[in-house]
């Protein structure tokens, strides 16, 4: 998967949203840049990184052509256990076929390192939810809401509380 930081001039947002006027692009991009700054600042606060390459919100394109806008705040609890707070906006056709109707999914996830006695060598999804939107503007507003929720999740509890969810039940 390739990831490109969203800047004031690139990449082309149409790959996720479909055709946009210059005005629509500018309005959406402005909101995305604000969210990117919020994610980067939160990652710094947690001594972590934001995005696949530490640059905040990114346009992600896979070899299959699937495209999304997302980021994650990756951080640790000081013992080597890691947690990823993830937010992603995808067109509704991301996992299937295009319907011709615009639609978007916004997903929030929290993944933690496996700390079970028998290490599964994976991360466990300890929280996740998806919302939908029917327009590009509604999708970016949903991404904004989801990102702000994610920042609360990442900052209102100690990271160790999250990583403990990957341990054996007691």
- Which tens digits make up the pLDDT trace of 104-163? 999 999 999 877 666 666 788 999 999 999 999 999 999 999 999 999 999 999 999 998
Structure-token match 């639609």, residue found: 103
Helix (H) or strand (E) holding 49: strand 49-50
- pLDDT (0 to 100) of residue 117: 62
Q: How many domains does the chain have?
A: 1
Phi–psi pair at 164, nearest 5 degrees: -65, -25
Q: How far apart are CA 123 and CA 144, in angstroms?
A: 25
Burial class (CB in 10 A: 0-12, 13-18, 19+), 137: middle
Q: Which of 96, 51, 45, 46 is nearest to 69 (CA)?
A: 51
Instruction: Provide the token pair at 164.
Output: 């403990």
Distance linking the first and last C-alpha atoms of the chain: 38
Indicate the pTM of the whole model: 0.90
Q: How far apart are CA 111 and CA 93, in angstroms?
A: 24
Instruction: Quote the domain boundaries for residue 142.
Output: 2-166
- Which tens digits make up the pLDDT trace of 24-64? 999 999 999 999 999 999 999 998 889 887 889 999 999 88
- Find out whether 57 and 6 touch, Cβ atoms under 8 Å: yes
* Alpha helices (runs of H) in 3-158, residue ranges in sequence order: 14-17, 22-45, 136-156
């Amino acid at each position: 998967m390739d990831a490109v930081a969203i800047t004031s001039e690139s990449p082309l947002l149409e790959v996720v949203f479909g055709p946009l006027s210059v005005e629509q692009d500018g309005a959406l991009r402005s909101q995305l840049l604000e969210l990117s700054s919020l994610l980067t600042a939160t990652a710094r606060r947690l001594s972590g990184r934001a995005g696949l390459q530490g640059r905040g919100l990114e346009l992600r394109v896979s070899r299959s052509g699937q495209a999304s806008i997302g980021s994650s705040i990756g951080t640790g609890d000081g013992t080597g256990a890691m947690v990823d707070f993830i937010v992603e906006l995808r067109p509704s056709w991301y996992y299937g076929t295009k319907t011709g109707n615009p639609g978007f999914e916004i997903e929030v996830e929290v993944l933690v390192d496996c700390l079970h006695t028998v290490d599964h060598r994976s991360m466990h999804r300890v929280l996740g939810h998806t919302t939908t939107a029917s327009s590009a503007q509604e999708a970016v507003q949903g991404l904004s809401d989801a990102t702000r929720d994610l920042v609360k999740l990442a900052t209102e509890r100690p990271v160790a509380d999250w990583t403990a969810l990957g341990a054996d039940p007691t």
